[in-house]
């Protein structure tokens, strides 16, 4: 394609096969929503997913995906999410208390804190308790076996693949899935790390599930696995998931549910650290929230309280738009298809075309990062951080693609993230607790933060200091307030 780079383009893989990259809203809607399971994950992506998270929901295809999603959906209902909000608030408050004790016990002066070292520990504690009432204890430095298995797993395993590894993975599309399953036994760092963490998760997760199945007394407050077990028994045997599949759901949620959320929080705090005036606006909403709680005689906020904080919500949406953690995914056409476009583009021959014809087996790259920056959808300032776009205009007016705020950050359609609202409420809870007690600034050293793809995660690093690993240092100053 000669023009319309923001909408679609073709490039070649290591062996000269064409890959179609799409950011066009109508094309993405067609693939993600209208076509359903007609665009499954390709072999390479599916095997990487299976290596890291087992045969859970993210790796499942076709009928297995439908069956597993049906069992998992009740765990993320509004009723269940209400129980999790208190967990979010309690854990975020614990981070604030830890910072006060560790960094500000003797001085109120500014301190540079590597927030990326703290937030994943907090979100891992949350996901452990929410999924299966498991105590990781990472905020208390307990260093459990399972916590060690999941710490920085993407950055440690998939940061800079070698040329040989890139070439090797490009061959995976030519192999049947059964043969690809043997890849996990290769002795490289990546496969050893994934194999080891998944083995630990299956062992500990299996023990937890066995204990839960044996329990006679129902729990007053159920975790996600409890709800899955209950939902599973309500289906006929052909629609139920096995014990091993339940264990794989735990592995999937542990992997997908903590580092992604923590990294989004890193970027939100980073953007806010550059703009004190935006922090002040959020604190105004926090004051309103606290006053409302006082009038009600309550100490814990609700889903409705969090989602009513319009400015804070707009900041979350805008950061997720500009810094999507999952920056792209790939799909393979299961049949010949015609992909519609929102606007005509010029082909290699100079012809204006309104759709693209593809053949069965065509690999398609869905660029979430690209779509989230399309000027036709988000405005001419799509490359800049501007939360006002979610306050002043209806950004879903022309398109309806993503799960949340028209974004593709959580993907879309039948393969969309089942826990997207869980993640958003968790992030909002952390912003309330942290911005109520601290101001955030860019450190005086003015370190340049780079966004580096580490496997599936767009991870922050300091330029020229990648050997230090993922880093998001921010200057933090405590705030004295009546609620502290």
Tokens 């893989």, located at residue? 13
Question: What pLDDT score was predicted for residue 34?
Answer: 87
**Nearest 5°: CA angle at 42, between 64 and 410?**
70
Q: How far apart are the first and last CA of the chain?
A: 58
- Structure tokens belonging to residue 12: 């070649």
Domain ranges of the chain: 68-326+409-478
Question: What pLDDT score was predicted for residue 3?
Answer: 41
DSSP E strand stretches across 72-172 = 111-114
Question: What pLDDT score was predicted for residue 122?
Answer: 95
| 3-state SS assignment for residue 449 | strand
**What is the Rg, in whole angstroms, of the alpha carbon atoms belonging to the chain?**
23
| Residues tagged in the binding site annotation for heme | 417
Question: What pLDDT score was predicted for residue 216?
Answer: 65
Question: What pLDDT score was predicted for residue 368?
Answer: 94
**Nearest 5°: CA angle at 155, between 150 and 157?**
75
CATH superfamily of 68-326+409-478: Cytochrome P450 (1.10.630.10)
Buried b / exposed e along 428-466 (16+ C-beta atoms within 10 A): bbbbbbbbbbbbbbbeeeebebebbebbbbbbbbbeeee
Nearest to 320 by CA among 408, 221, 239, 444: 408
- Structure tokens belonging to residue 278: 């935006």
Q: Indicate left, alpha or beta for 455 from its phi (over 0: left) and psi (-120 to 50: alpha).
A: left
Residues 6 or more apart whose Cβ sits within 8 Å of residue 315: 268, 271, 272, 278, 282, 387, 431
| H helices, E strands: number in the chain | 20, 11
Question: What pLDDT score was predicted for residue 88?
Answer: 98
Tell if the pTM clears 0.85, that is, is over it. Answer: yes
| Residues tagged in the binding site annotation | 417
Cβ 289 vs Cβ 305: under 8 Å: yes
Cβ 219 vs Cβ 226: under 8 Å: yes
Question: What pLDDT score was predicted for residue 161?
Answer: 65
The pLDDT tens digits along the chain (484 residues) read 334 446 788 887 777 788 999 999 999 999 999 888 999 988 777 777 887 788 889 888 888 899 999 989 999 999 999 999 999 999 999 999 999 999 998 888 899 999 999 999 999 999 999 998 888 888 998 867 777 777 766 666 555 666 667 777 777 677 776 766 666 666 666 677 778 888 888 888 888 888 888 876 666 668 999 888 888 887 787 778 888 888 999 888 988 888 899 999 999 999 999 999 999 999 999 999 999 999 999 999 999 999 999 999 999 999 999 999 998 999 999 999 999 999 898 887 888 999 999 999 999 999 999 999 999 899 999 999 999 999 976 665 567 899 999 999 999 999 999 999 999 999 999 999 999 999 999 999 888 999 988 777 888 999 988 888 889 999 999 997 544 4
Cα-based distances in Å from 53 to 165, 253, 466, 483: 20, 8, 26, 41
């Amino acid at each position: 394609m000669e023009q319309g780079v923001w909408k679609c383009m073709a490039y070649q893989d290591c062996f000269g096969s064409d890959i179609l990259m799409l950011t066009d809203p109508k094309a993405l809607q067609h693939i993600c929503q209208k076509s359903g399971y007609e665009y499954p994950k390709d072999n390479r992506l599916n095997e990487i997913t299976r290596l890291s998270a087992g045969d859970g929901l993210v790796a499942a295809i076709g009928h297995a995906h439908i069956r597993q999603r049906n069992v998992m959906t009740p765990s993320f209902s509004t009723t269940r999410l209400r129980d999790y909000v208190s967990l979010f608030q309690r854990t975020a408050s614990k981070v604030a208390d830890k910072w006060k004790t560790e960094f500000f016990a003797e001085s109120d002066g500014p301190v540079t804190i590597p927030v990326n070292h703290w937030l994943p520990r907090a979100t891992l504690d949350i996901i452990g308790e929410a999924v299966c009432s498991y105590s990781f204890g990472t905020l208390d430095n307990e260093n459990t076996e399972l916590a060690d298995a999941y710490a920085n797993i993407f950055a440690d395993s998939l940061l800079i693949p070698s040329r040989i590894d890139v070439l090797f993975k490009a061959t995976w599309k030519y192999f049947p899935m059964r043969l690809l399953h043997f890849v996990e036994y290769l002795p490289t760092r990546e496969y050893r790390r994934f194999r080891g963490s998944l083995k630990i998760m299956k062992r500990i997760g299996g023990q937890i599930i066995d204990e839960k199945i044996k329990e006679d007394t129902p729990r007053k407050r159920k975790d996600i696995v409890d709800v899955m077990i209950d939902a599973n028994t309500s289906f006929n045997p052909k629609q139920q998931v096995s014990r091993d599949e339940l264990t794989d759901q735990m592995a999937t949620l542990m992997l997908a549910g903590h580092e992604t959320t923590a990294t989004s929080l890193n970027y939100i705090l980073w953007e806010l650290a550059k703009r004190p005036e935006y922090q002040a606006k959020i604190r105004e909403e926090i004051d309103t929230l606290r006053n409302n709680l006082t009038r009600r005689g309550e100490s814990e906020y609700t889903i409705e309280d969090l989602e009513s904080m319009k400015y804070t919500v707009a900041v979350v949406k805008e950061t997720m738009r500009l810094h999507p953690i999952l920056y792209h995914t790939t799909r393979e056409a299961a049949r010949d298809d015609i992909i519609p476009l929102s606007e005509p583009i010029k082909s290699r021959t100079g012809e204006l075309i309104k759709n693209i014809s593809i053949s069965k087996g065509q690999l398609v790259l869905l660029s979430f990062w690209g779509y989230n920056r399309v000027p036709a959808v988000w405005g001419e300032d799509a490359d800049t951080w501007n939360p006002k776009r979610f306050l002043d205009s209806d950004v879903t007016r022309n398109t309806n693609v993503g799960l949340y705020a028209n974004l593709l950050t959580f993907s879309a359609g039948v393969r969309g993230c089942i826990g997207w609202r869980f993640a958003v409420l968790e992030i909002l809870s952390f912003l309330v607790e942290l911005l109520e007690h601290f101001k955030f600034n860019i450190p005086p050293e003015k370190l340049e933060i780079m966004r580096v793809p580490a496997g599936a995660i767009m991870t922050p690093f300091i330029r020229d200091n990648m050997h230090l690993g993922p880093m998001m240092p921010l200057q933090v100053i405590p705030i004295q307030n009546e609620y502290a």
